[in-house]
Structure 1
Amino acid sequence: MAEEPRRQARGQRRMEQLTDAAALVFAEVGYAKATTNAIAKRAGVSPGTLYQFFANKEALATALADRYRTALQEAHAQAFDPTAAQLPLPELVDRMIRPMVEVNLANPGFKTLFAGPDLPEHLTAPARALQAAVTGKVAEIVAVRAPGLPADRLQQTATVATQIFAALLGTVLAAPPADRESWIQELNQALVGYLTPVLS
């Protein structure tokens, strides 16, 4: 009886190993040029082992899309909690940016991969929709904090705040681990500096 859960756990680990390898290969050479042989080699397994779990590279890309979408949904739930809207602004901003930084750190290459031109549209669309929803989530938080803000100003504020985050995210992710916290603080200060006059 105990063998079945162990077998399932091993199978789950193998699937994660293969999808991790696929993410790296897809990010390096693109979906169109990636092959299952290259993915199997990167994972350190035979092609036959790969085919025990995934029928083809689209099945691997589908698994990656599901993983990325789930990770983004979880990050959104942590980052954009309207009940936190009345926290001191630096604390609120920190609470919003950290889950979004962490999901990108935990999924290297995913953002590039899902923005690429050669991944099938039905795989990229859900993740892109979630990424696009960030502006709306920011607008919801701002609206709770500044309920009198006109709708056009609310949308403009959320758009600019999202773009500030996007502009500095690459620098945060590329920073050596020892320097990353200081860049997160810089990002926090940039957003607080922009939002303070709007929310006051």
Structure 2
Amino acid sequence: MTERPRRRQARGQQRMVEILDAAARVFARSGYETATTNAIAAEAGVSPGSLYQFFANKEAIAHALADRFVTAMRTAHEEAFAGVDAAALPLPELLDRVIDPIVAFNLANPGFKALFARPDMPEGLAAAARPIQESLFGRVMGIVADRAPALPPEERVRTARVLIQVFQAMIPLITAAPEPERGPLTVELKHVLGRYLDPLTRLPGDDTP
């Protein structure tokens, strides 16, 4: 008697995942502002009525998708930063370790920028993203401090902000590129960051050109 409700619940959970996957693609393709629930339903292969059984409106979809993105981004940050000895690694290796997982996250989550790069991002979405953004800033600050302990605190803050802004500026270029170009563009991103960091944080063994 309990098997049917469980199957229905599993089908419902799968349908929600499909709708969120479709929403991520629609947001990435059309932008959040112009995306519609009808477009999301069509992308997911369901009727608008079926979509509304799970989500009341586009904002509800965005919030659910934001929660999923935040969880995935937290995992990507852990992969990028956990166990990294920033003071000991040569700069090129450090950049590989930190940048690759976060680039991979952005490639795997095409709707992320459409939600979190908006100038009019609703407070609810901003609140969901804020802890991750603060954590990222803190981790980048930690790397700068480990590699350049002589830098005054205000310069560390400035350096961390510049690094994050440059990274965020190049991510759309990488994600929009054809797949064969993504690797070379990621290498270019590392070169840009490396050339900026190298004079500030050079350690023995660093070979960034």
Matched-pair contact (CA < 8 Å) for 1:36–1:57: yes
1:67 counterpart = 2:54: no
- Retained in 2: the 8 A contact 1:81–1:141? no
The residue aligned with 1:11 is 12
Task: Show the counterpart of 1:98.
Answer: 100
Count of matched residue pairs: 200
Contact (CA 8 Å) 2:144, 2:160: kept in 1 or not?
A: yes
Q: CA deviation at 1:138?
A: 0.8
Separation in structure 1 between the aligned mates of residue 78 and residue 198 of structure 2, nearest angstrom:
24
Matches of 1:172 and 1:33, distance apart in 2 = 23
Deviations 1:84-135 (A, max 9, x none): 3122211111111112211111111321233335653212332255336533
Q: Check whether the contact 1:114–1:124 (CA below 8 A) recurs between aligned residues.
A: yes
1:31/1:118 Cα in 2 relative to 1: closer, same or farther (>3 Å)?
Answer: farther
Kindly report the root-mean-square deviation, in angstroms, between the aligned alpha carbons of the 2 structures. Answer: 2.6
Q: Is the 8 A contact 1:146 1:199 kept in 2?
A: yes
- Give the drift of 1:42: 2.1
How far off is 1:33 after superposition? 5.2
Contact 2:26–2:111 (CA under 8 A) maintained in structure 1? no
1:141/1:3 CA distance change after superposition, 3 Å: farther
| Equivalent pair of 1:32/1:119 in contact (CA under 8 Å) | no
User: What's the CA shift for 1:52?
Assistant: 2.9
Distance across 1 between alignment mates of 2:190 and 2:38: 43
Mapped partners of 1:135, 1:35: distance in 2: 33
Identity %: 56
> Which whole-Å CA distance do the structure 2 matches of 1:41 and 1:177 have between them?
26
CA deviation string 1:14-55 (max 9, x = no partner): 111111222344455555654433322221112232233223
Which residue in 2 is equivalent to 1:122?
Answer: 124
Question: Pairwise mapping of residues 41-190 of structure 1 onto structure 2 (< 5 A)?
Answer: 41-81=42-82, 83-85=84-86, 86-116=88-118, 120-128=122-130, 130-131=132-133, 133-190=135-192
Counterpart of 1:23?
24
Higher alpha-carbon deviation: 61-70 or 79-88: 79-88
Runs (5+) with no aligned partner, structure 2: 203-209
1:139, distance to aligned residue in structure 2 (A): 1.0
Q: Which moved more, 1:169-178 or 1:130-139?
A: 130-139
Counterpart amino acid of 1:156?
A: R
Which range moved further: 1-10 or 174-183? Answer: 1-10
Q: TM-score, normalised by structure 1?
A: 0.83
Partner of 1:147, secondary structure, is coil
Q: Indicate if the aligned counterparts of 1:80 and 1:141 stay in contact, CA closer than 8 A.
A: no
CA contact (8 A) 2:31 2:114 kept: no
Q: Which moved more, 1:83-92 or 1:24-33?
A: 24-33
